[in-house]
Chains A and B, each alone.
Chain A
Amino acid sequence: DAKTTQPPSMDCAEGRAANLPCNHSTISGNEYVYWYRQIHSQGPQYIIHGLKNNETNEMASLIITEDRKSSTLILPHATLRDTAVYYCIASYSGAGSYQLTFGKGTKLSVIP
């Protein structure tokens, strides 16, 4: 897995967009960027993933730079329930391989 770097913590005002950055400067061409989050010791929850193009789903948007060395997860209207640790992972999964390494992530605090 490519190493990812995330800020240890961030604050966001409730109702505002939360933009969580991730650096993955050594990412290889076949590695996807995944985002998961973990709310207070619950099981991690999948959010979104992408390879090259920007992606959007009902939870968030993922913006990947053209050189793929960094990405940003956007929660468009953060709520208190979005307070969690967010993990950015760069990984490729082959037929006989597994690579999904969780680092320490970014602790996002949504402030009322």
Chain B
Amino acid sequence: DADVTQTPRNRITKTGKRIMLECSQTKGHDRMYWYRQDPGLGLRLIYYSFDVKDINKGEISDGYSVSRQAQAKFSLSLESAIPNQTALYFCATSEYTGSQETQYFGPGTRLLVL
């Protein structure tokens, strides 16, 4: 079984709809992240969480919200989807050891907003 899973893997929605992307991990890591990737570009950080009670905005948080329901679960919501949120979304967890951090990524969710 995969250590970091994302659901759904693909999603088509319409402008103005609310949608939720879910991420689960079995690695036991405290830190979790949401990124988006646009074609030909690197990953950009949306939100991150260092533990269940800690949520932080990343580089591009506008239009998104998150919920850390448990250590293993971190959900990303688009309150009112717009076409420029069409992208590939990745969840990640990280193994943090004082000053070093290794990230483990899920398979991604491909989102199309019409």
Contacts and interface: CB of A to CB of B under 8 A. Distances in A.
A43 B101 contact: no
A96 B107 contact: no
Size bracket of the A interface? 20 to 34
B105 to A, nearest CB: 3
Contacts of B40: 104
B110 to A, nearest CB: 8
A93 B100 contact: yes
Contact of B90 (A34, A44, A96): A44
Interface of chain A: mostly helix, strand, loop or mixed: loop
Given A41-B88, A46-B104, A102-B42, A32 B99 contact: yes
Contacts of A49: 100, 102
Contact of A42 (B31, B96, B107): B107
Max chain B CB contacts within 10 Å: which of A36, A94, A98?
Answer: A98
Contacts, number: 57
A98 B42 contact: no
Given A46-B103, A93-B101, A98-B56, 6 more contacts: A41-B110, A42-B107, A43-B108, A44-B103, A102-B35, A104-B41
Interface of B: 4, 31, 33, 35, 40-45, 48, 50, 56, 88, 90, 92, 96, 98-108, 110
15 contacts: A32-B100, A34-B102, A41-B88, A46-B104, A92-B99, A93-B99, A94-B99, A98-B31, A98-B33, A98-B56, A101-B42, A102-B35, A102-B43, A104-B40, A105-B42
